[in-house]
Every structure is written in structure tokens, then in C-alpha cells.
Amino acid sequence: MPANNRYSRQIILPQIQKQGQEILKNSTVIIVGCGALGTNSANSLTRAGIEHLTVIDRDIIELHNLQRQNLYTEKDIGRPKATILKKKLHDINSEVTITAIVDDLNPKNSEKFLSSCDLILDGTDNMHTRYLINDISIKHNIPWIYAGVIQTYGMTMNIIPHQTPCLCCYTPTLPEPGSLPTCATAGVLNTIPAIIANIQATETLKILLNKEFSTDLIIYDI
């Protein structure tokens, strides 16, 4: 393996090696939401060599996103997050095939968008979409990684269908819309989504490589 290989620094890790890199190369991960969590996890996974990524977001980039949504710049304001993220990720690693979907995830399209992948990452900001992800996960036996951040803290949890508790086990009923605080109303420090998203990205590698993964609800207040 030449020392200048793109992945040389992670292939020498005993936890990855050449065969692990090959597994990552052939893995497909879908990131729902291209905000602070999604941009950070997409960045790490693209650099790590997950060669098939789909990013989903219906929103356009706004000035107040730049405080925490890494990879976006001032000249991207007004353009679709998923499209711009795809472009930035391709600039980082042109070996990765990235699919950008500019749409919201809803009960009519969730099956079509999510049902053929190895793992789904939650980069959303609402429980409604998380329930949709959970449904598809259970139905198609696809692991997903929940995450949420607000103010100075965040949490994440791996959900492996039929192995670990799912979202419905924790919260059987959907909270009333507007009943939970949001980053828009309560604020968020820009370092916490980067940390939580990178825990998600790390757990993604562990799950894909069939290594021991966290079964805890990880809560971190920075």
C-alpha cells in the first residue's frame, strides 16, 4: 500500500485495515438532513471513503446556517443545501458517488428514498421525520443512528432493528408539533453538532465494519 494512498492513515489502523476499507468502499449511507449534523457527518464519511452517499434536504442555505453548518460558505446562500453539499463533498473526494435529493422526507417518499442502503444517519431537527426513518429501518432491517442537538448539549443512539430498542420503544407517541424546543428558539453552540455528528460517523464505521458498537443513549453537554 503506497504511503500516499488517500486512506493510508486509516488503513494502518488495526480496526480498519485493507479489508475494512474495502467494506467502507462498498457501503451505502443515507444522511437525512444537511444541516449542522448532516454536513459534519457527511464530511467525515466522505473523507473516510464511504463511496456511496445520499444526502436529503429540502431547504436552502441561509446566513444564520453558516455559524454551524460546516462546508457552506457565503456564496452558497440561497441555494439548495443538498445540491451544494454534494458539490463540496465531490471536491473533497471525487471517488465517492453522491446523490443529492432536494425534497422533504414524507410518508409518500420515505420508502423510495430510504429502503436500499446499509445505514441511515439522522441529521433532522424533528421527531416526525425520525419516526419515518424508524419505520423504514424496522421494516427493511436497516440500522439508523438517532441524533439531536440543542443549546450546549446533544445526544445520539444507535438503533439496530430487532437488536436494540428503537425510537418507538423510547417514545411511543409522537410529541405535539412545536412542543419541543428548537435551535431557532433556544439556540445552539456550533461545536456540539460537530461532536455529536462525529460520534455518529464513528459509530457508522463500527456498525459497517461489524465491530462492537455503542448500545447506550450517549448524552454530552459540552
Binding site for Zn ion (CB under 5 A): 166, 168-169
Evaluate whether 84 touches 91 at the Cβ level (below 8 Å): no
- Return all residues near 1 (Cβ < 8 A) that are at least 6 apart: 8, 11, 18
Judged by CB, which is closer to Zn ion: 169, or 186? 169
Cβ distance to Zn ion smaller for residue 89 or 157:
157
Question: Shortest gap between Cβ of 218 and Zn ion (angstroms)?
Answer: 18
Smallest separation, CB 135 to Zn ion (Å): 11
Sorted by sequence, the CB contacts under 8 Å of residue 112 that are 6+ apart come out as none
The CB-of-3 to Zn ion minimum distance in angstroms stands at: 46
Q: Which is nearer to Zn ion, 131 or 220 (CB)?
A: 131
Smaller CB distance to Zn ion: residue 152 or 163? Answer: 163
In whole angstroms, the minimum distance from the beta carbon of 157 to Zn ion comes to 12
Q: Residue ranges of the alpha helices (H) in 56-190?
A: 81-92, 110-114, 127-140, 167-170, 183-186
Torsion of the alpha carbons at 63, 65, 70 and 76, rounded to the nearest 10: -40
